[in-house]
Amino acid sequence: MVASKTAVESGVVRAKNARQKRKLLNEAPKVFENAKSTIFIKGGNVSDIITNVFTDLHRLKSPHSLVFKKKNIVRPFEDASSLEFFSKKTDSSLIGFGSHNKKRPHNFVIARTFDHQILDMVELGIGNYVALKYEFTRSFILPFFSPSAEIAMGTKPMLSFAGDAWENVLELKDGSKIDFKRIRSLFVDFFRGDTIDNVRRTGLELLMQFTLQEGVISMRTYKVIMKKSGQEEPRVELESIGLNMDLTVRRTQLSNPTNFKKACKQPAGIKEKNRKNITKDGLTGEVRGTVHLPSARQNLDEIALNHKKVMKRPMPEKEIDSEDEKEFDQDVEMEEM
Amino acid sequence: MEVENVGVSSIEVDKILEPQFDLKDLLIYDSNELTGKSNEYLKDLARDNAQLLINQIFKRAGLETEIVNDSVVTELPEKKYDDVFVQPREKPIPKKSAQTKWEAFATLKGINAKKKKSRMVWCEITNSWKPRWGYMRAEKASQLNKNGESKDWIRVIKPHEDPNVDPWEKEKTEKKERVAKNEHARLKNVARQKGMNNAKRQQDKNELRDSFRKAKFSTASLGNFDEAVAGEKKEKNGGKKKYNALFSKDADNESKQILDLMSAKNPKFNKNAAADKVLNFEKKKAAGKVQKRNSHLKADGKSRKGKPTGNKVANRRQR
């Protein structure tokens, strides 16, 4: 799979100003990548449900999300090249494509790209949709000052995948296979949001659960309420906030294992090297290291600890401030070893 | 906040199979069988899983915490890259670019990177801050008088300079040349980088076979009496070219095949081979090893050898 390089990427055509240069650098491959951006595209004919789902998901995923206003007649499973083009133009690697017709009502295709080429695609039928009741706001001072029906925009959701069917590969009547492990990975990619290093404990407000039963993925979203339990870990309670749907798995187009492995390759420096011989005392917070001496046998009797010549040299005269004289008198005399 | 039943049961959850956690992405994978479908069942299940996940984050995974702006912040552990949790990247891993010619020179000489120059510079003449480069830059501003007219309306020609040369035009053309030179140097750096990337591909099977063949042929006996290496195939040397029979039963099919090949939308064109050919040609040309194809002919197609063509009668007379 060789992605064609444009003149810009190869450096033949250069950026004309600083803004263009910044854009190029932002869109270039990096060791630590940007948050994956999503584009929501509507097909030739779209139902109300699809439109509402797009609005809700867009609110959930903002600011890393873009909804296309116009309809685009695309058949992803026949020819996904226009989706790839949109991915490249908007620098988004996650695509949500919605369409509605008699054969496939309330159709929702989730796709992800690698290097702007489609990697995995899943076609889902939306059923039992419940709209999002909560507002997503930009405010970060939330829990105390704003009404409770709000969650901060960009909150990283907790994701729960329940059911033993997620680990299996389902074989259909026509011989095709659905690898639910891969679909689970796709869902994680789609819903997990930005990569974060730290999380504020009170910021763990959003939970999304995906349960798989008989080829139907039930998605439920909740707000997490933490109550005192008398211990360090709080008692967790949930509140339904909408954004629920039952997704029937229709068609899939998953890349072969080699291509997937290629896409999963991580750069060399990313894994933190295991620092040996360093431990942190949980109680005192001290960082302790173990030093290994080159030879186990060291005869302390024979090692020169007594440097006579040096010890006999007179110490340099120090200028003592009259105010500090008392302090020096109290000094403990150095004993000769 | 209310106080729920104070006890161990309120935060404990029983699961048959231990769920798997990836705390960097706040994930919990619960492989236990589902025993219901109703929304109430799903909510209870979600609550249990959320409780397990929060237990891990708050205490059981042993994560570092600190207090930032009056809130407790937990440091999340590294992302797990094992089969279960690995996620594909958005774009391929960035390739290490080759050093530009200047960078190579700088590292050799030990020259460090320049300090960043400030955008604004104090202009003594106008007593104001002006940009160091670009529109209304300090240099140019000092060349304007009160009315904004250029002070550079007259230039004294030195004795060694040509009086017929327009100095302003000369400045403009020199600047254009400098810019073009810089662009050329940049393109050379780009080409060098591209060359580096291509050179890293491993030797093709065919290339290996070629080099093996050459090595064998370079012996005194042209490789005829060499011991065969394990897995070596006997080389087909020579033989006459087989021409198709003039009259054959399959004449229609053959001509059809030829027509298909000629009219095919995707011709049998090996891009890599063609690109390599071009690259090699460039290299050879640079090394001066390329002879013009028709070097035995002159530019006008006439032969170099022999007497010069033209008016032979006239030449005879001149002698």
Determine which of A305-314, B57-66, B107-116 has the lowest per-residue pLDDT on average.
Answer: A305-314
Check residues B241 and B296 and name the one with the higher pLDDT.
B241
CB pairs below 8 Å between A and B: how many? 211
Q: Which of B60, B75, B90 sits opposite A36 (nearest CB)?
A: B90
Domains in chain A: how many in total? 1
Q: Which of B33, B42, B190 sits opposite A12 (nearest CB)?
A: B190
Does residue A141 surpass a pLDDT of 60?
A: no
Q: Dump the DSSP string for A180-200.
A: HHHHHHHHHHHHS-S--SEEE
Q: What is the mean pLDDT of chain A?
A: 84
Determine which of A19-23, A174-178, B224-228, B292-296 has the lowest per-residue pLDDT on average.
Answer: B292-296
Does residue B46 surpass a pLDDT of 50?
A: yes
B50/A267 touch (CB, cutoff 8 Å), yes or no? no
Q: Which residues of B touch A246 (CB under 8 A)?
A: none
Minimal-distance CA residue of chain A relative to B49: A160
Most confident among A301-315, B74-88, B168-182, B191-205 (mean pLDDT): B168-182
Determine which of A35-44, B205-214, B304-313 has the lowest per-residue pLDDT on average.
Answer: B304-313
Determine which of A138-152, B15-29, B112-126 has the lowest per-residue pLDDT on average.
Answer: A138-152
Does residue A296 surpass a pLDDT of 50?
A: yes
Specify the pLDDT at position B137.
83
Q: Which position has the token pair 């405010």?
A: A139
C-alpha angle A38-A269-B106 in degrees, rounded to nearest 5: 105
Does residue A9 surpass a pLDDT of 70?
A: no
Does residue A71 surpass a pLDDT of 90?
A: yes
Determine which of A19-23, A215-219, A228-232, B266-270 has the lowest per-residue pLDDT on average.
Answer: B266-270
A232/B59 touch (CB, cutoff 8 Å), yes or no? yes
A 86-115 residues with CB < 8 A to B:
93, 112-115
Q: Which domain holds residue A151?
A: 33-196+203-255
Is A172 within the bounds of a domain?
A: yes
Is A77 within the bounds of a domain?
A: yes
Q: Supply B279's token pair.
A: 């690259």
**What percent of chain A has pLDDT above 70?**
82
A167/B31 touch (CB, cutoff 8 Å), yes or no? yes
Amino acid making up residue B229: V
Is A67 within the bounds of a domain?
A: yes
Specify the pLDDT at position A128.
95
What confidence category does residue A326 fall into, taking pLDDT thresholds of 50, 70 and 90?
Answer: low
Determine which of A29-38, A83-92, B73-82, B107-116 has the lowest per-residue pLDDT on average.
Answer: B107-116
A114/B93 touch (CB, cutoff 8 Å), yes or no? no
Specify the pLDDT at position A144.
46
ipTM of the complex: 0.76
B4/A229 touch (CB, cutoff 8 Å), yes or no? yes
Return the CATH number at A71. 3.40.50.10480
Does residue A41 surpass a pLDDT of 70?
A: yes
What confidence category does residue A237 fall into, taking pLDDT thresholds of 50, 70 and 90?
Answer: very high
What confidence category does residue B282 fall into, taking pLDDT thresholds of 50, 70 and 90?
Answer: confident
Specify the pLDDT at position A324.
55
Determine which of A157-171, B101-115, B302-316 has the lowest per-residue pLDDT on average.
Answer: B302-316
Specify the pLDDT at position A145.
44
Q: Dump the DSSP string for A3-19.
A: PPPPHHHHTSS--SSHH
A198/B76 touch (CB, cutoff 8 Å), yes or no? yes
Check if the beta carbon of residue B88 is closer than 8 Å to that of residue A263: yes
The residue of A164, A209, A228, A243 whose CB has the most chain B CBs within 10 angstroms, and thus the best one to mutate to test that interface, is: A209
B240-280 confidence digits (pLDDT tens) = 888 777 777 777 787 888 788 777 766 666 667 777 888 88
Does residue B6 surpass a pLDDT of 60?
A: no
B46/A271 touch (CB, cutoff 8 Å), yes or no? no
Specify the pLDDT at position A272.
59
Amino acid making up residue B64: E
Q: Which residues of A touch B31 (CB under 8 A)?
A: 163-164, 166-167
Is A5 within the bounds of a domain?
A: no
Asked if A225 reaches chain B (Cβ–Cβ under 8 Å), the answer is no
Tell me the nearest-neighbour CA distance from B48 into chain A, angstroms. Answer: 8
Query: Environment class of residue A163 by beta-carbon count within 10 Å: exposed (0-12), middle (13-18) or buried (19+)?
Result: buried
What confidence category does residue A327 fall into, taking pLDDT thresholds of 50, 70 and 90?
Answer: low
B74/A199 touch (CB, cutoff 8 Å), yes or no? yes
What confidence category does residue A5 fall into, taking pLDDT thresholds of 50, 70 and 90?
Answer: very low
Check residues A5 and A201 and name the one with the higher pLDDT.
A201
Does residue B172 surpass a pLDDT of 60?
A: yes
Mean pLDDT computed over B96-121: 84
Distance (Å, whole) CA B44 – CA B49: 9
Specify the pLDDT at position B293.
66
B71/A12 touch (CB, cutoff 8 Å), yes or no? no
Q: Which residues of A touch B32 (CB under 8 A)?
A: 162-164
Specify the pLDDT at position A2.
29
Amino acid making up residue A136: F
Q: Is B69 left (phi over 0), alpha (psi -120 to 50) or beta?
A: left
Specify the pLDDT at position B80.
87
Mean pLDDT computed over A104-126: 96
Specify the pLDDT at position A289.
85
What confidence category does residue A142 fall into, taking pLDDT thresholds of 50, 70 and 90?
Answer: very low
Query: Environment class of residue A58 by beta-carbon count within 10 Å: exposed (0-12), middle (13-18) or buried (19+)?
Result: middle
Q: Kind and range of the H or E element at B197?
A: helix B167-199
Residue B19: cis peptide before it, omega within 30 degrees of 0: no
Amino acid making up residue A58: H
Mean pLDDT computed over B181-197: 83
Specify the pLDDT at position B309.
55
What confidence category does residue B83 fall into, taking pLDDT thresholds of 50, 70 and 90?
Answer: confident
Is A138 within the bounds of a domain?
A: yes
A31/B94 touch (CB, cutoff 8 Å), yes or no? yes
Asked if A182 reaches chain B (Cβ–Cβ under 8 Å), the answer is no
Does residue A259 surpass a pLDDT of 50?
A: yes
Does residue A329 surpass a pLDDT of 80?
A: no
Specify the pLDDT at position B311.
56
Is A330 within the bounds of a domain?
A: no
Asked if A14 reaches chain B (Cβ–Cβ under 8 Å), the answer is yes
- From the list A100, A128, A97, A99, the residue with the least C-alpha distance to A110 is A97
Distance (Å, whole) CA B19 – CA A166: 13
Is A237 within the bounds of a domain?
A: yes
Q: What is the mean pLDDT of chain B?
A: 81
**What percent of chain B has pLDDT above 70?**
83
B29/A166 touch (CB, cutoff 8 Å), yes or no? yes
